[in-house]
Amino acid sequence: MRFSTKLLIAGALSGTLVLAGCGSPRDEDEPSGSDDHAHIDPLDPTALDADGTAVTAMQAVLSWQPAVDASKSDALRRARPWLGGDLAATVDNDTTAATGLRPDREWLAWKQAGDALTASCTKADSTPPAPEGMRTVVIDVSCRQTVLHAAGSSTPLPAQTWRTTITRTDDGWRLSDFRYQ
């Protein structure tokens, strides 16, 4: 077989493959989607259920930045979107925002080292059952804080259980109280 014949066959095969792949698309093959740029916020307090509110709020309350925070009250202020009742009123009306958080001996050391603490929380098995339709529920939350050191390492702290009170409002569920267990 001559080179020109091989070239002609290869060209014919390539053309056939291109044409086979270039057929008109069918409706079911077209991707569906939207270009309306809708923003979905999984932490939107109006979209969370009671469990999600308890977990999200306590993660915010227990995530601290000692290098820039004056106290743990700053974290409580950051958690404001998920707070309700007297707890929200305390944050809104008191510049010192007294909290149920106990003082921490390590705060000064974390501050001097430039460390930050992040909290990861889950609903605890010790959560008491709530009757259907309740507007106020108690949810136990197990939280583990991790110290993020400025040098890049991290130190997990022991898990702690917090008893939270979550109240249904017109704008969704809100954390209205919490206590260390």
C-alpha dist (Å) from residue 133 to 9, 45, 111, 130, 175 = 74, 19, 44, 9, 17
Give whichever of 19-23, 37-41, 156-160 has the largest mean pLDDT.
Answer: 156-160
Query: Range with the lowest mean pLDDT among 13-17, 79-83, 152-156?
Result: 13-17
Model confidence pLDDT, tens digit, residues 119-141: 999 999 999 999 999 999 999 99
**Residue 101: its pLDDT value, please?**
60
Single pTM value for the model = 0.74
Cα–Cα distances in angstroms (integers) from residue 60 to residues 8, 136, 161, in the given order: 69, 21, 15
- pLDDT score, position 19: 45
The model's confidence at residue 5, banded by pLDDT at 50, 70 and 90, is very low
Domains, the chain: 50-180 (3.10.450)
Q: Are 67 and 108 in contact (CB under 8 A)?
A: no
Between 177 and 7, residue with greater pLDDT:
177
**For 55-64, how does the pLDDT look when each residue is reduced to its tens digit (9 = 90+)?**
999 999 999 9
